[in-house]
Structure 1
Amino acid sequence: MDSSTLNLHPSFSLFLTVILTLMAVSCANSNLFAEYIGAQGLGVKFSDVPINSDVEFHFICSFAIDYSVATTPPTPTNGEFGIFWDTENLSPDAVFAIKQDNSNVKVAVSLGGATVNGADVYFSATSVDSWVSNAVSSLTTIIQEYNLDGIDIDYEKFSDENDTDTFTECIGQLITILKANGVISFASIAPFADPPVQSMYQALWQRYSSVIDYVNFQFYGYDDQTTVDQYVEYFDEQVSNYPGGNILASFMTENTAGQISADTGLSACEELKSQDKLFGIFIWSADDSLQEGFTYEIQSQALLAS
């Protein structure tokens, strides 16, 4: 049959248009730069980090955690979040000042993380309804006090690795309600290539992708033998795992044995941009970069702005 004379059913044509649009969104260059900050208590300030006025810049305060440190070891609180980032240097006044001085800056908070006071952080909910109620209340208070713009989801361990439904509904409903209430304007998720983690986040994506703006995939979790070409392959794999998502490339500036170097990560970002796939870059973390003068932040933002 001659494809030029093929008549497609209107509903299929609409479906095809949507798919092509989503593919274009997830594969287009953009200028979003994000950086996690405050998790390591090294005294880094927002004002220490170079900010290129030609990028959209997101600071991500790390972390707010629904754990209590009043017990030893720390224990989960079923959605009642507290602040665990460096509040002395990253205070509400500091948030106000950096946003006042830089119109292209937004500030978010990341939820969860890997550890709290040396103990593993697990996503643990007594029930969907109670966790969501507690989380909405406690996070609204934090977000409004600090004049934050968004949230990032970075749970890395789960009390029940087989219960994707509870995680999906808790996080999906949380984001939906915070957006509907006008508390946040954007949300991101931060999965990495671990089967239990991927199963949680892909289940969340399948049901609630419409309220998730960015996928801050932790590509630096791959090993230090990863080449630039392999990095691009991993990136393409995540594009298919989170269809239609705005996938950010990433690397870490801490020299950690066994993980992708910052040089490899930056080179991979350059290659992704040449293929029109670089929606944005995020770096873990400003705390580490403070020690080396933010070289990679400067280069990454210049790449995004070019």
Structure 2
Amino acid sequence: MVSLNIFRLALTLICLTSLSLVSSAPTSNATSADLSPKASEILARATPSAPHFVIYSDKFVSGLTGPPPVAQVTGYNVFALSFLLIEGAFDKAIEWTWLSASERASVKAEYAAAGIKLIVSVFGATDAPTSTGADPISTANTMAAWVKEFDLDGIDVDYEDFNAINAGDGKAEAWLVSFTRQLRTQLPQGTFILTHAPVAPWFSPGRFGGGAYLTVDQQVGSLIDWYNVQFYNQGTSEYTTCDGLLSTSSSTWPKTALFQIAASGIPLSKLVIGKPATTGDASNGFMSTATLAGCLQQAKGRGWNAGVMVWEFPDAAASWIRDVRSQAFPE
């Protein structure tokens, strides 16, 4: 994904009583009225179950600061403000900070009522954290603190340090593993969303010396809620038919179609299919909404239901996801 490059500290520790309430939430008969305000807040923020309908937002939109009105993104359940970089927030992420605390609270309430989580996406195409020598622990701490300071529901790791992955020496994978583990110490699972957005080829067995995302998943996959897989920007004919997207990828990036990735050990339930909204939102990999809707229907018929991701608002909005969901996940 491409950053446009336009340009409350950590929350109070939750008491042990609140933590015990949260951990028992799935089987408890307690209502929100029985819980402390902090416990109720955590339960409301808990990781949503599949399917996930994710939309990124990085473009400047005249007259709009921060997320759009809910009506414009009806049909999605995750909205990703992009991007938070090592040097700070930019684009839609910094716009979020421009809103007052009361304005942010109002937006959060509106989105929560519509069942939409607000998260921040980090890095993108602008940052190369491994190659530039960023420390994974301090970077994770800083970014997690930003998420909590500005009261978001989680974080998406859009790591695009291609040189580091291509080096094949395992340093990129080790960086991502350390970064992810530290994020989880600061943003506990079940309380905050933590996703990654790898390009599909990074799941190709034997193509990268360090194992790319197969290694990442083996080591910290249990800490990652799902993958917003970028099935685009990888070649003019890659992932542009239902067969190429779902069943059999080309020899250029072998075994990286959806069900091939699952066959390599990645949980099918975590593989969200990512696509660009228009031909202008990516170099290649675009599918029309009608074609993509048909592919999703095929995939669901084979046991998949993880959901779909799109890059980006406002090129995609409520009508885009309505059309894409129409056959497999009608509203």
Match of 1:141 among 126, 145, 151: 145
Q: Root-mean-square deviation (CA), in Å? A: 3.1
Look up the match of 2:30.
Answer: none
Residue 282 (structure 1) shift: 0.8
Confirm or deny: 8 A CA contact 2:83 2:90 kept in the other structure: yes
Look up the match of 2:74.
Answer: 51
Q: Are 2:266 and 1:262 equivalent residues in the alignment?
A: no
Residue 87 (structure 1) shift: 4.7
Question: How far apart, in 2, do the equivalents of 1:42 and 1:164 lie?
Answer: 41
Q: Are 2:179 and 1:174 equivalent residues in the alignment?
A: yes
Question: How far apart, in 2, do the equivalents of 1:232 and 1:114 lie?
Answer: 26
Question: How far apart, in 1, do the equivalents of 2:303 and 2:124 lie?
Answer: 31
Q: Which amino acid aligns with 2:227?
A: V
Question: How far apart, in 2, do the equivalents of 1:146 and 1:85 lie?
Answer: 15
The more displaced of 197-206 and 98-107 is 197-206
Confirm or deny: 8 A CA contact 2:54 2:79 kept in the other structure: yes
After superposition, the C-alpha distances for 1:196-242 in whole angstroms (9 at most, x for unaligned) are 59942222112111111101111133535732232221111222245
Look up the match of 2:254.
Answer: none
Normalised by the size of structure 1, how large is the TM-score?
0.69
Look up the match of 1:243.
Answer: 266
Closer/same/farther in 2, CA of residues 286 and 172 from structure 1, 3 Å limit? same
Look up the match of 2:85.
Answer: 65
After superposition, the C-alpha distances for 1:52-77 in whole angstroms (9 at most, x for unaligned) are 4xx7x1111111122xxxxxxxxxxx
The more displaced of 83-92 and 240-249 is 83-92
Residue 144 (structure 1) shift: 1.6
Look up the match of 1:98.
Answer: 107
Look up the match of 1:124.
Answer: 130
Look up the match of 1:191.
Answer: 198
Closer/same/farther in 2, CA of residues 85 and 191 from structure 1, 3 Å limit? same
Q: Which amino acid aligns with 2:158?
A: D
After superposition, the C-alpha distances for 1:248-295 in whole angstroms (9 at most, x for unaligned) are 112211224643223232321122123231211111111322xxx642
**4+ aligned runs moved over 6 Å, structure 1:** none
Percent identical among aligned pairs is 18
Paired residues, number:
250
Question: How far apart, in 1, do the equivalents of 2:110 and 2:90 lie?
Answer: 25
SS at match of 2:139: helix
After superposition, the C-alpha distances for 1:96-150 in whole angstroms (9 at most, x for unaligned) are 33331233221222222113xxxxx3233676xx712321332133112221222
Q: Which amino acid aligns with 1:62?
A: S
Confirm or deny: 8 A CA contact 1:192 1:198 kept in the other structure: no
Question: How far apart, in 2, do the equivalents of 1:146 and 1:159 lie?
Answer: 32
Closer/same/farther in 2, CA of residues 90 and 299 from structure 1, 3 Å limit? farther
